[in-house]
């Protein structure tokens, strides 16, 4: 398959790589749309990542084309968005359901291979089934939209309060 592979800081190559092999509980997603996050720019060109080589891209959507076992077969052919956080599910925050606070997390596209490829291995837990009226391009924006929703909930303005959003990048506009 073709993928953009980050080999080092400012060393992103479009090349042929092996399709991901699936582990129990995973499916193979054929990527149909991927977003470029503001965090991808410094990761690729300035700061690097946790290990090289790595396929970046944590904002993506696609179609499930293969499953690791019959237990996941209901996902075959489904259009999906992908939640990129891979929590350990065993630390104290995870046991309380606070996955965003996981102490041992992994992350598609920054700590493990992500969506700047034709195919990605994704845990079933991270799939979001898409309604027919949601495009792949819109679904690739689920992660930044979740960040915007989190910010709105955190601010929790009252109906009579005014809010100013500073920085109208993708998340600010959402």
| pLDDT tens per residue across span 42-92 | 999 999 998 999 999 999 999 999 999 988 899 999 999 999 999 999 999
Share of the chain above pLDDT 70, in %: 100
Q: Report residue 147 as tokens.
A: 């960040």
Kindly give, in sequence order, each residue whose CB lies less than 8 Å from that of residue 130, ignoring residues fewer than 6 positions away.
61, 78, 79, 80, 81, 139
Confidence (pLDDT) at 77: 97
What single-letter DSSP state applies at residue 122?
E
Confidence (pLDDT) at 129: 96
Say how many residues make up the chain. 174
| Residues 18-38, mean pLDDT to the nearest whole number | 96
Confidence (pLDDT) at 161: 86
| Residues 121-137, mean pLDDT to the nearest whole number | 96
């Amino acid at each position: 398959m073709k993928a953009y592979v980050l080999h080092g800081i400012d060393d992103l190559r479009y090349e042929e790589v092996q399709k991901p092999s699936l582990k129990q509980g995973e499916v193979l997603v054929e990527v149909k749309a991927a977003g470029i996050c503001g965090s991808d720019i410094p990761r690729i060109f300035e700061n690097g990542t946790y290990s090289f080589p790595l396929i970046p891209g944590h904002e993506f959507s696609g179609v499930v084309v293969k499953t690791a076992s019959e237990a996941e077969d209901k996902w075959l052919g489904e259009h999906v968005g992908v939640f990129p956080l891979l929590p350990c599910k065993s630390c104290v925050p995870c046991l309380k359901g606070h996955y965003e606070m996981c102490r041992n997390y992994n992350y598609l596209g920054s700590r493990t291979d992500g969506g700047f490829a034709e195919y990605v291995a994704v845990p079933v837990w991270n799939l979001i089934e898409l309604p027919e009226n949601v495009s792949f391009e819109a679904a690739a924006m689920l992660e930044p939209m979740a960040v915007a929703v989190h910010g709105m909930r955190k601010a929790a303005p009252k109906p009579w309060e005014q809010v100013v959003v500073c920085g109208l990048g993708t998340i600010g506009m959402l």
